Amino acid sequence: MKDITKIFYELVSIPSPSGSEIEVAEYIKKYLGNLGIKPYFDKTGRLNDSNSGNLIVKLKGSGKTILFIAHMDTVEIGDRRIKTVTDKGIIKSDGKTILGADNKAGIAPLLDALGKISKEKKRNNIIAVFSTREEKGRMGVEFLNLEERIDFGFVIDGSESAGGFINKSRGYLLFKLEIYGKEAHAANDPEKGINAIKIAGIILSILKLGSDGSGITMNIGKVSGGRQANVVPDYVIMEGEIRGYEKGPMDRRFEGMEKIVAKICEKYGAAYKLTVNKEELMDPFASGNLKILNYAKRAAERAGVRFSVSAIKGTTEANILVDRGYPILGISRGGGFPHSKDEYIRIEDMKTVSRLLVALMGKDERP
């Protein structure tokens, strides 16, 4: 077995933007194959436009069947290779790219743990899934089709305290707002036009973007429109999202936004179309399952990891899996500043997560 740090260095050197996970998947398959473990690909890549399916590992044991998930893709666009810098046990990129710790700092401990537990006779039935397109597009776990009954599942993701459990995360809805005004010559007949960009600006000035303090956030992340400088623009499109820990407040925020849009458009004589991307609608995740919480607590004790449970602001694959009936908790991989050039991970964080995963995979004699 390779040192966990070496595994991480090799993983982050392989580009794997969403939809292009095959190279890192082949690395994982080869690594595990050298340990006598034989993963296989499912066919989800055909359904979510990835060049790789989910890579699935099954280790037979006895007792419970425990599922582990770690996604292979990163937010990095293109094929630029990441260079790492290590100082005092902290790994960063060279400052020109993201690091890719999200989520290769989740994959490395899972590979390390699988190698260790494969040599143990006393273990649970283990299924590990290295998934695709968590960051962009339709997540591979959405199409995951396992025959086994899953007793407990753990999604390794999140940059909170390493080894901490996650029992709550936000869902999101993506929306598109189109505003229809009226074209006119900007010098000769500006009064005959209805300026869609002006109306969009007014709407943006009224909407409460960012956090409202209750767990709901709203963002407009993309605005485009207009044809040329001397034409009153007749069309603007805005794309954004609403996130929250509960579906009801998210829906009410969307309804409140539509009331504002309707009122402003009526005042200025414009039309609008507001739609939700139903294919990428994600419900919030919350787990109150006492059995999995007790199991996680006992595993943390055996691993020497402080047990903690928290909510996170982001969204993970747990949101999908809990909707499919799996008893799920997240496990934070640690680190910080994901999706940015300041991203980092501590080597000790990865070792902590590996110890916890081994304990979760091993036999717990208590019910």
pLDDT digits (tens, 9 = 90+) for 231-269: 999 999 999 999 999 999 999 999 999 999 999 999 999
Which of 226, 250, 280 represents a domain boundary (last residue)? 280
Contacts of 26 (CB under 8 A, 6+ apart): none
CATH code: domain of residue 203: 3.30.70.360
Same-domain pairing of 163 and 193: no
User: Which pLDDT does position 45 carry in this prediction?
Assistant: 96
Question: Is 132 in contact with 249 (CB distance < 8 Å)?
Answer: no
Helix boundaries (H) for the chain: 4-12, 22-34, 45-48, 101-117, 196-206, 247-268, 290-303, 318-323, 347-361
Q: How confident is the model at residue 284 (pLDDT cuts 50, 70, 90)?
A: very high
Give the span between the Cα atoms of 50 and 22, in whole angstroms: 8
**Tens of pLDDT along 130-163?**
999 999 988 999 999 999 999 999 999 998 999 9
**Is the confidence at residue 364, as pLDDT, over 90?**
no
Q: Are strands 90-93 and 344-346 parallel, antiparallel or unpaired?
A: antiparallel
Distances (CA, A) of 183 to 27, 146, 202, 214, 221: 55, 55, 18, 41, 25
Task: Say if residue 257 is in the same domain as residue 199.
Answer: yes
CA 148, distance to chain mean position in Å, is: 24
Decide if 125 contacts 62 (C-beta within 8 A): yes
**Structural domain of residue 149, as residue ranges?**
4-170+284-361
Q: Are residues 176 and 243 in the same domain?
A: yes
pLDDT in tens, 294-330: 999 999 999 999 999 999 988 899 999 998 889 999 9
Are residues 195 and 140 located together in one domain of the fold? no
Neighbours of 275 (CB within 10 A): 10
- Does residue 366 belong to any structural domain of this protein? no
| Structural domains of the chain, count | 2
b/e per residue 2-36 (b: at least 16 CB within 10 A): bebbebbbebbebbbbbbbbbebbebbbebbeeee
pLDDT at 2 over 60: yes
pTM above 0.85, yes or no: yes
pLDDT tens digit sequence for 99-137: 999 999 999 999 999 999 999 989 999 999 999 999 998
Q: Which residues pair with 86 in a beta bridge?
A: 91
User: Tokens 């996130």 map to which residue?
Assistant: 243
Residues 213 and 75 in one domain: no
Residue 182 and residue 248 share a domain = yes
Domain boundary among 237, 258, 280: 280
Residue 60 lies in a domain: yes
Within-domain flag for 136:
yes
44 near 53, Cβ under 8 Å? yes
Peptide bond connecting 103 to the previous residue in cis, omega within 30 degrees of 0: yes
Q: Does one domain contain both 219 and 243?
A: yes
* 110 shares a domain with 32: yes
- Could you tell me which of 183, 74, 174 has the C-alpha nearest to residue 131? 74
Please give the Cα distance from 236 to 225 (Å, whole number). 4
Beta bridge partners of 238: 177, 223
**Are 94 and 185 part of one and the same domain?**
no
- Is the domain of 175 the same as that of 163? no
Choosing from 233, 261, 280, the residue where a domain stops is: 280
